[in-house]
Amino acid sequence: MKVTVVGAGNVGATCADVLAYREIANEVVLLDIKEGVAEGKALDIWQKAPINLYDTRTVGSTNDYAKTAGSDVVVITSGLPRKPGMTRDDLIQTNAGIVKSVTENVVKHSPDAIIIIVSNPLDVMTYQAHITSKFPRTRVMGMAGILDTARYRAFLAEALNVSPKDIQAVLMGGHGDTMVPLPRYTTVGGIPVTELIGKEELDAIIQRTKTGGGELVKLMGTSAWYAPGSAAAQMVEAIARDQRRVFPVCIKLEGEYGIKDCYLGVPVILGKNGVEKVIELDLNAEEMALLKVSEGHVKEVMTVLDNLA
């Protein structure tokens, strides 16, 4: 299994590191446009191998896609992160061009790859990569749902003073303030969460989850990377090991949930072919209304992208 991570910044380097120390791939190529940075970080990760005991080979590349040739999975993290006061959508102008040119190179050198987008605005950058690559939708997906769900699970674990391992949840929709956490599908060791926490406290956790990315941007002056990098690596693992894990993943909807031609996070089965199946939940009217709001927002930003072209 050969995996390329494009963008050797905070998220990309973290993802490459997790891929290596968890031996998810035999070879990880880290690529960036900044001279020497990807080579340096790949070398640093390789020099950690005798300490942390792994044998994944990590290779760096300054914009030389020949080194990425024949990758099975490509994770695209290249692009600007936001600064305090910005929304993810504010990044579209710069990141659309970056994701487009990176995708063109990926297609040329790894025509059979599965592409995982991380760059923001996530749902619309997944759209950009999909239309540029012309790959089937099952091979072009965005990472956001695992991260958003992890934040929700972490906040719940803290509030209930239980292990985050025992909290299972689904979160749908776009990667932004219109994301749709689903308390009805949230359990703690199999127990419905609503039996363990009051409505007011749960609502506050849901609200904190929706603005979870912004909370970190405010604290750090740039966006998060440990959880995002690990979340992208977890998607790669599900594909590399054909685990058929059930994760919320951003994909083009083609009629599921009554939604067409929109890129939204939905629960899927992730395996060796990419998205093996989109799972359709029987949402109630309130949940469906929230998903429609999310669809409306993502479609607006998709139109912004169409008008850039």
Provide the annotated active-site residues: 175
Contact 250, 126 (CB under 8 A): yes
Enumerate the known binding-site residues for NAD(+): 7-12, 32, 95, 118-120
Interaction site with ligand OAA (CB under 6 A): 81-82, 88, 120, 147, 175, 213-214, 216-217, 223-224, 228
Q: How far apart are CA 193 and CA 93, in angstroms?
A: 40
* Token pair belonging to 27: 């070879």
Using rule CB under 6 A, residue 143 touches ligand NAI: yes
Site string for ligand NAI, 55-94 (x = CB under 6 A): ----------------------xxxxxx--------x---
- Cβ closer to ligand NAI: 92 or 253? 92
Q: How far apart are CA 240 and CA 224, in angstroms?
A: 25
* CB 306, min distance to ligand NAI, A: 20
Q: How far apart are CA 22 and CA 229, in angstroms?
A: 13
- Name residues contacting ligand NAI, limited to 194-253 (CB under 6 A): 222-225, 228
List the one residue out of 83, 74, 119, 42 whose CA is nearest residue 235.
74
Contact 141, 167 (CB under 8 A): no
Of 96-104, 162-170, 191-199, 260-268, which segment contacts ligand NAI by CB under 6 A?
Answer: 96-104
* Token pair belonging to 203: 């609502």
* CB 282, min distance to ligand NAI, A: 27
- Cα 82 to its chain centre, rounded Å, is 16
Enumerate the known binding-site residues for substrate: 82, 88, 120, 151
Q: How far apart are CA 284 and CA 176, in angstroms?
A: 21
Residues in touch with ligand NAI (CB under 6 A):
6-12, 31-34, 77-82, 91, 95, 98, 101-102, 118-120, 122, 143-144, 147, 175, 222-225, 228
